[in-house]
Structure 1
């Protein structure tokens, strides 16, 4: 499954048995940025501010006083179910006087978050990798043509006695095609060293 990032912050509101739920989502780059955004958008007059964020393999969630597992985890499940990464979601609840029960809370919090993300503008997250290339001077034109053809970004270039060294960043899916083009265009004179 391909992952997506939010293009811009979004919000969605629902009402369930007189309780109002307002989901807000925003792109975030770090755990600290996620927590700061959550603090900034939590509305003082709301009864609960339940939230979750995911950034790669890192994630956190909070039920903020709701019964354990009825809010934060459903919000996180909505993030994962909608295929998002690098995102934080807060669902604020204004209690309407009618208890929803555990199942009702899971549906309300998870549903508000899922609908907020479902309609959100998104962009695919393209995994990038870095590599070092080493090649003789005479292959410079062929190397630069191959880099351009495979959307590789040149990060650093230096010349040494026997040729050139370039550090590049490119989409992970383009690595094999770039290696093939470099091999064919230079009679296999380019060494590609992936970075750990």
Structure 2
């Protein structure tokens, strides 16, 4: 069962005069990763190394540290904790003492690991994007239903009614589908939007 983390956490430690700061954050897609790394660009750091995993996609970056001593250990920590949809960034401010490759692996992997220990792990629930249409007089029924189940949705008012797009957990699809058929007397169907997987 894949897990992610509930919210952003961070951890700092000093290792042989170098300061290490790990920040772990849940991410939904690659754009969120890019935005996060962009907003957390810190020119005072010596290195900003990171790793992320979303589903089967993984990336990591040593940012100038010797190859395999930073990004890979961070990724190993993510996978060791059975986490996905997560980005871990580890900043290093160099303190003048070289750690050696083994020391770097331990420092980056260890700092990331300590950070993840602070995070609340939550089960990653697969969601499907769906859409359906309804008439204006039916919308209040669906709006109530979606809010009751805390379903994320956005609605678009058209000339003929309301177009709704929502993110549903797997177990919510069938009940909502039946409800739509019931309320619209079979006129409307719930459609699942197939997202193109780009592996």
3-state SS of the aligned residue for 2:3? Answer: coil
Structure 1 residue runs of 5 or longer lacking an equivalent are none
SS of 2:179's equivalent in the other structure is helix
Q: TM (normalized to structure 1)?
A: 0.68
- Write the distance in 2 (CA, Å) between the matches of 1:140 and 1:76: 45
> Is the contact made by 1:34 and 1:53 (CA closer than 8 Å) also made in structure 2?
no
Counterparts of 1:110-189 in structure 2, within 5 Å, are: 110-120=109-119, 128-135=127-134, 139-152=138-151, 153-160=153-160, 164-173=161-170, 174-189=172-187
Q: How many correspondences in the alignment? A: 183
User: C-alpha deviations, 1:10-60, integer Å up to 9, x for none?
Assistant: 232153xx35451231547241541452x316525xxxx251142633633
Contact residue 23 and residue 88 of structure 2 kept, 8 A:
yes
Structure 2's unaligned 5+ residue stretches are: 195-199
User: Using the alignment, how far apart are the partners of 1:13 and 1:142 within structure 2?
Assistant: 53
| Aligned residue number for residue 31 of structure 1 | 34
1:61 positional shift? 1.3
Whether the aligned pair in 2 keeps the contact of 1:25 and 1:116 (CA below 8 Å) is yes
Q: Distance in 2 between matches of 1:125 and 1:42?
A: 35
Q: CA RMSD in A?
A: 3.5
Q: TM-score, normalised by structure 2?
A: 0.68
> 1:14, 1:69 → 2: CA distance?
21
Choose 1 or 2 for highest CA Rg.
1
